[in-house]
Structure 1
Amino acid sequence: MQAAPVRATAIPSLTTALRAVESLLMSSGQRTARRNAWTSVLEDRRRAQDRVEAQRVLDQSLLTRP
């Protein structure tokens, strides 16, 4: 008696699973709007981090000025 062959199926990542649920619940326009909003949030965070770093460099240069 031979064992039946085992099929390996990839387990979807959490991101893939969430996107699948999202596609069922939201229209494409809503998905696009949500993704655009999240991209804007990430860009705002990056700019804020850049401002903090620039301020730190300016403050440091004022302290080391003769």
Structure 2
Amino acid sequence: MADIEEARRAFERFDADGDGFITAAEWKTAMAQLGDWNVTESVAEAVIGAQDTNKDKLLSFDEFWAHLSK
């Protein structure tokens, strides 16, 4: 996914409350809505943690985009 606009739309689907950050709970919920019911809270925390460069336990769009554009 190299298109930043497509990435922003994907980010917004995960950012349920629209605050500009994706939490582990939002990640888990979005994955369930996409049909992946196996994502637990701890798995979601690990996914966020792997991309969370400032270690605030939140995924910003910049962190999301940096991961996608690697």
TM-score when normalising by structure 2: 0.29
Q: Which has the higher helix share?
A: 1
Give the structure, 1 or 2, with the largest relative contact order (CA under 8 Å, sep 6 or more).
2
Structure possessing the higher radius of gyration over alpha carbons = 1
TM-score when normalising by structure 1: 0.30
